[in-house]
């Protein structure tokens, strides 16, 4: 049975991050002899977090981020694989893995990993939209739109998926694609005032059900 979708489970609190960064800063101070570098102290501290709770995906993610900054790509990928083993829907770790593969010039493997993440989330349109949003937030638009297009194929009755696709193309000034997907979303669920508003800004006037009207009424668009 597929794991339940709960991305919030793997998000460290601001307090937790503050403690980690504070400890890293303190540990980064060199000894009087200068033999222990700030870098090695940071690594030692992050390794201690992993040792303390090996099944904590956040600990592996933080260590992977350190190795990434040090240019140790293989070590970073190993820690990200562990993070995703214990937190299959840990979006930050998923995106970090794709970024490193792209930096290595291994686009084929990056594409393959994205396909794995999409397949993993295919049971739920919410999960697919969340994955697409994460890619988009991190500037990986190519993968964001691919994820949404796959979601539309898998969930052709999901108003949310077509809404997200429409808003994506609207942000890219691709008005024809934006209209097509927003109209599809509204047809599937005509109780979406935000979609009606977006269509109105594109010159397409639609009518909400009586309880949801915002003051603008007209005949539904011809599609």
The pTM score is 0.74
Domain boundaries, the chain: 7-147, 156-223
At 211 the pLDDT is 63
SS3 2: coil
CB 154, CB 173: distance < 8 Å: no
Query: What is the DSSP track for 200-218?
Result: HHTT------GGG--S---
- Along the chain (223 residues), what's the average pLDDT of each consecutive run of 10 residues? 48 44 47 58 93 96 96 97 97 97 96 97 96 95 97 98 98 96 97 95 88 44 38
At residue 3, the pLDDT reads 45
Cα–Cα dist 125/162, whole Å: 11
Predicted local distance difference test score (pLDDT) of residue 210: 73
pLDDT at 181: 98
Give CA–CA dist 143/134, Å, rounded. Answer: 10
Which tokens is 180 given? 């097509």
Write down the pLDDT at residue 6: 53
Domain 156-223 in the same topology as domain 7-147: yes
Measured CA to CA, the distance from residue 174 to residue 145 in angstroms comes to 13
How is domain 7-147 classified at the architecture level of CATH?
Alpha Horseshoe (1.25)
Pick the CATH number of 156-223 from 3.30.70, 1.25.40, 3.40.50, 1.20.120: 1.25.40
């Amino acid at each position: 049975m597929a794991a339940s979708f709960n991305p919030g489970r793997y998000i460290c609190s601001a307090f937790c991050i503050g403690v980690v960064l504070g400890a890293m800063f303190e540990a980064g101070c060199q000894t009087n002899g200068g033999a222990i570098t700030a870098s090695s102290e940071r690594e030692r501290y992050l390794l201690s977090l992993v040792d303390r709770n090996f099944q904590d995906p956040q600990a592996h993610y933080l260590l992977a981020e350190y190795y990434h900054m040090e240019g140790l790509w293989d070590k970073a990928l190993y820690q990200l694989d562990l993070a995703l083993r214990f937190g299959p829907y840990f979006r930050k770790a998923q995106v970090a893995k794709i970024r490193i593969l792209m930096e290595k010039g291994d686009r084929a493997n990056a594409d393959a990993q994205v396909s794995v993440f999409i397949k993993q989330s295919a049971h739920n349109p919410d999960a697919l939209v969340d994955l697409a949003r994460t890619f988009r937030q991190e500037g990986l638009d190519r993968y964001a739109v691919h994820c949404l297009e796959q979601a539309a194929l898998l969930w052709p009755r999901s108003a949310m998926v077509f809404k997200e696709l429409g808003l994506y193309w609207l942000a890219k000034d691709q008005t024809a694609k934006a209209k097509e997907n927003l109209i599809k979303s509204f047809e599937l669920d005509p109780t979406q005032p935000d979609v009606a508003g977006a269509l109105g800004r594109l010159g397409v006037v639609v009518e909400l059900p009586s309880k949801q009207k915002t003051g603008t009424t007209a005949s539904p668009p011809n599609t």
